[in-house]
A and B are shown apart, each in its own frame.
Chain A
């Protein structure tokens, strides 16, 4: 499973690094390093809805605070 996080300027200012760090921490906690791949891209053309994340072709709008919920609802069940 591959999750792409937008690391463009706009999302960066809205906390994409914190989102990435949170995801890395959760992935490590649940021992999912082999199954979940994190990647980055500069701009996903949805700057207003940042921090943008893409999973299976679907775009999610995240904040650092919502990241844990996103992980539990979208990643954990499928991993």
Chain B
């Protein structure tokens, strides 16, 4: 049974699972120190130079699974001893260079940085090179390689640099907590703090939902996860963990699409507020564009607010693909509605900490939202939903110019255009992760078929229009 994309995710999961198992049994305080040896028993190293280093790193992972460094406000944290200090020399000629006659590299280089030695092999003069990569593109032997660290490469907001020890370091002033580096670091040296202990505590203290009810609000991208079981079985498993019931965040998304359409007509230019990493990116890199950010709460906060208003005392845990949501819920304006946030990776660890066999559970139902709310999980879905919401409110005459930005680089381009003066009717849908939420760092898998899975789940919704889905919001 394949649950994760990489062994790094699997390792992180093992730690989370053991931490959770001990937390349920109230043995964590005494036994947490034993976890590294449980995961790496024996004397032979399987991942690093020796078992002692492996265990030392696992001890750090245990700390992060228990909430991490409280003095660091960011949920994205570097485990410095796990960082392999990857080479970072930029473009270099490897020994695959055959010293050919054509010298396409030399012709392609506009800075005159390529020279040849007595064997006709190419060399790059680093004092002239601007790291444009033109030489690498034209080499017929692919002999020119770019030594750029995967973390730096994945970080499109350029928040990662190397410190004096050649270890990765995150600039919290730039980081939007999207988690791209978490998923991309091949050594698992950058990771997201976990709040699973708060969730376990909430569930335990509810005493079977007698003291208060604990609601799970799940993101629609769940439809592309847990592919080894049916969605209905996953819903049963969430309830089995001790949640009172499960509600779709997509119903909040329906509401957001509906009010965002009206807001767009009023303001003429709007950027979406669903993706917390995108909103944070605007605040940090494009502060003059903050006035365009939609005033709507995110779908997560919208549905949670409604639950809290209709059920006094309710506690709400958001379960999704997103590390940036772990930042969003700590904002003072969101904190009253959301009690905790965990990812699908962490949900999997919680299931297995209770040794649940999800495939044997009965199928429960999950159906609150419409097709449009559900497709928020993938890039382009939000724009489709806003177009539909305009139609349902009789505002189809509004000239909607929607730009769906798939990933932070496209967001940057669209924001630069907006800064230069946008056309009326601009709606910028910003999603920091490639593919939208289904590309989130907290997903178990990032498969090719995920978009199709989300669309299929969308079509299965009982409600066919946004207006019908959100009619429940009139009930107080």
Contacts and interface: CB of A to CB of B under 8 A. Distances in A.
Interface of A: 5, 7-10, 12-13, 17, 20-21, 37-43
A41 B109 CA distance: 66
Contacts of A43: 244-245
A43 B248 CA distance: 13
Contact of A8 (B245, B462, B471): B245
Interchain residue pairs A-B with the least CB separation, the first 4? A40-B475, A43-B245, A9-B365, A9-B367
Contacts of A41: 310-311
A63 B170 CA distance: 56
B388 interface: no
B468 interface: yes
A20 B472 CA distance: 8
Contacts of A42: 215, 245, 247, 307, 310-311, 368
B366 interface: yes
A17 B310 contact: no
A27 to B, nearest CB: 12
A5 B475 contact: yes
B367 A21 contact: no
A57 B92 CA distance: 75
Contact of A17 (B215, B311, B471, B476): B471
Main secondary structure of the interface of A (DSSP, over half): mixed
A20 B471 contact: yes
A9 B364 CA distance: 9
Interface of B: 215, 235, 244-248, 307, 310-311, 364-368, 462-463, 468, 471-472, 475-476
Contacts, number: 53
6 contacts: A9-B247, A13-B365, A38-B475, A40-B476, A42-B307, A42-B368
B310 A39 contact: yes
A39 B310 CA distance: 7
Nearest to B246: A9
A3 to B, nearest CB: 10
A9 B475 contact: no
Nearest to B239: A43
B472 A7 contact: yes
A36 B463 CA distance: 27
Contacts of A7: 368, 472, 475
Contacts of B462: 12-13
Given A9-B245, A9-B247, A41-B311, 16 more contacts: A5-B475, A8-B245, A9-B235, A9-B248, A9-B364, A9-B367, A9-B368, A17-B468, A17-B471, A17-B472, A20-B475, A37-B476, A38-B475, A40-B472, A40-B476, A42-B310
A21 B467 CA distance: 13
Given A42-B247, A43-B245, A12 B475 contact: no
Nearest to A5: B475
Contacts of A20: 471-472, 475
Nearest to B366: A9
Q: Among A20, A37, A40, which residue has the most Cβ atoms of chain B within 10 A?
A: A40
A12 B244 CA distance: 17
A10 B244 contact: no
